[in-house]
Structure formats: C-alpha cells, structure tokens
Amino acid sequence: MAFANRGGSTWQLKTRSLTLGVRTRVMGILNVTPDSFSDGGLHLDPANAIQHGLSLLADGADILDIGGESTRPGQSPSETPATEQARVLPVLAGILEVQPSAILSIDTYHAETAIAAVQAGAEIVNDVSGFEWDDAMAAACARLACGVVLMHTRGRPGEWKHLPNLPQQEVLPLVRKGLGKRLQHAQDAGVARSRILLDPGFGFGKAFEANYPLFAGLEALRSIGQPLLAGVSRKSFLGRTLSDLYGGSDAPIQARANASLAAMVAAILGGADVVRVHEVKSAVEAARIADAVLAAVPA
C-alpha cells in the first residue's frame, strides 16, 4: 500500500511560522455560534468558549480555529460581519490574555471580520469560500500578510441539497481545477504562496459518497504544490456510511467519533499536513501513529 511522502515545508503566518510535514498539525474547532451542525449553542457564551478553547490547547491543539457563523448544510449565510465579530473577538482576546503564545485562526469569509481578527491577534484566516464570497477578502489577506486557508466549495450551503450529484470520477478533477484557480486568484492579489494552505472542502457541496474520491486523490491535490488541510470531523457523509449499523438511518452526530478518527487518519496517510477536528486529544494520539507510519515510508 502506498502512503504519502509529505516532504517538509514551512507555513508562514502573521508573526511566526509552522513547520509542516514531519508532524501533523492539529487544528481544534471552536464554534461560537448558535446553530453550527454539531455543536451549535454549546460555546455561545464567551466565558464558556474561552474555557473550551483553552481546554483544546491543553489537549494538544497546535491551532484554534474560531468561527462566528455557521455554514451547515441548508443554511443560507446571513450573519453580518458586526454580529460575527461580536461573537468571536471577545473569545479571541480572552484566549490570548491567558495564553499569549496560542496560534489562533479566524474562520470567516468576511473581509471585515478577517481584518478585525488579525489585528486582534489571529495568525490565520480560514476562508471556506476560497476568497469567492467577499470580493475584498483576497486583497485584505494580502495586506494583512497572514496565514491563509483556501477551501474548495461547490455552491453555498443553502444550495447544497439541490445541487446535482457529482459522479465519483468527476470529483477530483473538479476540486483540483477549482483549488488551482483559487490559488492563482490569491497570488494575483498579492498573497505569497508560503502563506497558503489548500483544503479540498470535504462535505462542502460534495454529497455523501462523492467525498471518498478526495481521500484517494489527495496525492493529486498535493501536486498543485501547496500543503493540505483536511476537515472531516463529524461530517454527514460519515454518518451516511454508517447507516446500516444504525437501522438504516444516518449515524447521529454524537456517534461519529470513531468514524471521524478513521477518516482523519486516512487523510493524513494520503498527505494532509493539517487536520481540523472537534475532539483534539484523540486526534493528537491518532495522528501520532499515522505520522509514525509515514516516517517509515522510504524517501
């Protein structure tokens, strides 16, 4: 069985850098929203969110990804940047007050929020639209000179249920072409390649079984020339795959932890440099084993 050779690279952030390739970097998810698909409302209170973020860091997260607007399937994005900032900025400030060395990422497609968060201490902008949903975002990130994650998405969350199904053989070429375009757009705006990670966008406009070719094709996505981030934690396609074990219904969100770990390890062995997860401690341990496997791959 062939495993990835991730090589080594350096991800330039706002004020520091992260080495990639030798050890998988774990990004902990901190949703400060009332309606995210798996944890909406759990961390809407700033004090609760700060404590949860600090717990994720204590469990071994290399990065915290803080988001103030849900992009769950069926959701039509509607939050204003002001509402989003009111949710995330107090949490960002509170975490940095306790742990100034923490590497924080802002999960947003709003340029206004990206600017406010980076000015408040975030090192990374994680844009699920790959700079598509706000025309000002690419130039803003170039000026901010921060780390960037560009995700591939097909349509918007409110459209996903109505998109035509993708034949499996079309998934990888579509995502590869789309990520290449987003990378070129970012570079044309002045974002340095050393600051950019690419994310194939598991579940973002790819329904259920259409996600599995992405695992099998991560090597082809790496050939674009950028490190990769994979976010598969608790995704609905995992619940669908387990449905025969749950009486024909999709496995509920709270029953997807093992599947999330299995999918995460598959992504690492396929070449993902960073993984985005809800349960950090188990992810750190599983990633350590996957990294040991990759370390045994002949150069």
Which residues are annotated as catalytic? 235, 276
The secondary structure of 102-128 as a DSSP string is --EEEE-S-HHHHHHHHHTT--EEEET
Euclidean distance between CA atoms 226 and 293, whole angstroms: 22
Phi then psi for residue 257, to 5 deg, are -65, -45
| Cα 150 from chain centroid (whole Å) | 9
* Contacting residues for 228 by C-beta, under 8 A, at least 6 apart: 197, 198, 199, 200, 218, 221, 222, 271, 272, 273, 274
Chain length of the chain:
299
Which parts of the chain fold into alpha helices (H)? Answer: 46-58, 81-98, 111-119, 137-144, 168-189, 212-216, 218-222, 236-241, 257-270, 280-295
Q: Return the sign of the alpha-carbon dihedral for residues 164, 29, 89, 120.
A: negative
Closest listed residue to residue 226, CA positions, set 149, 128, 126 = 149
